[in-house]
Amino acid sequence: MTPLDYIVLIGYLVSITTFGIWISRRIRTSDNYFRGGRKFKWYIMIGQAFGVGTHAEMPVAQTGATFSNGFATIWYQWKNMLITPFYWLIAPFYRRSERTTVGEIIEDRYGSTMGMVYSLFAISFFVFNMGVMLQGAAKVISVASGNLISPNMVVLGMTVAFLLYSFIGGLIAAAYTDFIQSFLIITLSVMLIPLGLKEIGGFHYMKSVLPVHFFDLVNSASGIDAFTIAMLAVNGIVGITAQPHMISMCATGNTERAGRIGQTFGSMVKRLVTIGWALTGLVVAALVIKNNATLSDPEMAFGYACSHLLVPGLVGLMLSAVIAANMSACSNFMVNTGALFTKNFYKKYFKPDASDQTILWMGRYSGLGLSALGVLFALSIKNVLNGFLFTETLAAFMGIIFLGGVVWKRANRYGAATAVIISLSVYYIVNLLTTGKLMLVYKWKPGPFGIAMLSGFFVFWLVSILTKPEDRDKIDSFFDNMRRKSDAKEPGPDGRKPLAEDTGDDLLLLDLQGWRRKERSRNFFRRYREDLVGFFLSWAVVGLLILLAWGILQV
């Protein structure tokens, strides 16, 4: 670290905090604070989805995994690649719910008890993820700075910065700073590659010293085979639906399409930069061989590259980008944590008649307090990749009841509760039997996960069939709301929100269980026009990204 690096790093922290506070002048109501008034443009939604979905531990984990086992480990981060087009299909559910938190949606579908259970999970999810992010940043900072700067001091500065502007500005500050910080994250993802290739003499040297399988897009030697990819995809599509920040990702745009574009193509940008992280891992593997060095921990590979390749000024820029990756997600998580506590606990159980200003301030204080718990969890995380996959796995078990409740009307609270208990229990029992150890965070393996998910879905179906259904009027109201446009400027003929089928915005997944009925094929392409066009366009982008990765490996 040189004086120039300190200037860049401190300058970034001061600038982004000042911008966040400045943009916060718009906050007047709790809806502005929690949902940004649902007025974000599509490009802000892309930046928000990319920033929140990209954390400091991800380049650390991916670079370390590629360093150890080759490029095919990209599928640990690309686990959602093959299900990203489905984001286009599910995004409108959250906006049409007219809710502030996913916990409220679960309560609408299954009742207050399940809503409370979900909200407890969601708060834990945010705490766990913040902990993983902080650990990821610490690993980079400690090595990249040559241990000349205390990781704790940087984490403290980062935390104070995002807490300050998020406390004041809520989701508006979080979303706009996410957009700005997304450009730094992209810089982080590619800046080491040309410097590393120059240092080692290009692709020729890299391919001459590394195993051939390091340059495969898919292989079993990396620990990533077809079955693992399939299980990671299941983890992704089921888990993403129940992740508690999906409301802010999909429901805060000024239109339903803005939410679709943001969540789908913001995620595509992340898939793109992941190629840079994986390629960096290959470069570092060759660099270590050239320098006759060894790394005690593969996840130190990213920091090793930073300390050996970056010149004064660029070290500060890199650390700023690492911090940006954390701050963009942590700021959003803090706002969502406050919303969960305030809407699902404080207003419901402690003060139902609370004024909007009281709700606003309680959201600020509760988000601040609960965010501090993430620091404590960070101290227990040893492996960043395992910690990341652990939080995603917990979300997948909750996703059984969210996704199942949307595509299947007969689902009820008894099936939902049993599914969560059984899937979580089976996951830990299978891991205990295969490892002989009882742990909070197990190394992710496709077998135990697949068995747990299959068990969860089975009891979800079985118990729902065998027990009393939910109140018919309540369920009909829930699904009727999902069939109506949430961004219409004028009401329909009946004075309510217009039906989505009239504008080509009917939802394919909503009709999943009724494909055999003749009426489902009536005006099919007109009714589902928005779903179909966006879905196939998304698959085209997926194909291009995979082709790009394959092409790079052929160089």
Rounded to whole angstroms, how far apart are CA atoms 165 and 268?
A: 28
pLDDT for residue 499: 92
Q: How confident is the model at residue 175 (pLDDT cuts 50, 70, 90)?
A: confident
pLDDT digit string, tens, across residues 62-104: 999 999 999 999 988 887 898 999 999 999 999 999 999 999 9
Question: Does the pLDDT at position 144 exceed 80?
Answer: no
Strand partners, 242: none
pLDDT for residue 278: 94
pTM of the model: 0.88
Q: Are 306 and 192 a contacting pair, CB within 8 Å?
A: yes
pLDDT for residue 118: 92
Question: Does the pLDDT at position 136 exceed 80?
Answer: no
Using the CB atoms, write b or e for 448-475: b if 16+ within 10 Å. bbbebbebbbebbbebbeeeeebeeeeb
pLDDT for residue 294: 87
Question: Does the pLDDT at position 33 exceed 70?
Answer: yes
In sequence order, which residues have a C-beta less than 8 Å from that of residue 142 and are 6 or more positions away? Answer: 151, 303
Q: Are 137 and 158 a contacting pair, CB within 8 Å?
A: yes
Question: Does the pLDDT at position 186 exceed 60?
Answer: yes
Rounded to whole angstroms, how far apart are CA atoms 423 and 237?
A: 16
pLDDT for residue 183: 84
Q: How confident is the model at residue 139 (pLDDT cuts 50, 70, 90)?
A: low
CATH for 3-381, options being 1.20.1730.10, 1.20.120.80, 1.10.1060.10, 1.20.5.510: 1.20.1730.10
Q: How many helices (H) and strands (E) does the chain have?
A: 23, 0
Q: Which residue has the higher pLDDT, 274 or 376?
A: 274
pLDDT digit string, tens, across residues 271-297: 999 999 999 999 999 999 999 988 888
pLDDT digit string, tens, across residues 397-443: 999 999 999 999 999 999 999 999 999 999 999 999 998 988 877 77
pLDDT cut 70: percent of the chain above it: 91
Of 196-200, 317-321, 455-459, 515-519, the one with minimum mean pLDDT is: 515-519
Q: Are 50 and 270 a contacting pair, CB within 8 Å?
A: yes
pLDDT cut 90: percent of the chain above it: 47
Question: Does the pLDDT at position 463 exceed 90?
Answer: yes
Neighbours of 43 (CB within 10 A): 14
Q: How confident is the model at residue 378 (pLDDT cuts 50, 70, 90)?
A: low
Closest Cα to residue 57, out of 323, 314, 316, 296?
A: 323
Domain boundary assignment for the chain: 3-381
- Average of pLDDT values for 24-48? 89
Three-state secondary structure of 421-454: HHHHHHHHHHHHHHHCCCCCCCCCCHHHHHHHHH
Q: How confident is the model at residue 163 (pLDDT cuts 50, 70, 90)?
A: confident
Question: Does the pLDDT at position 305 exceed 80?
Answer: yes
Mean pLDDT of the chain: 87
Question: Does the pLDDT at position 385 exceed 60?
Answer: no
pLDDT digit string, tens, across residues 238-266: 989 999 999 999 999 999 999 999 999 99
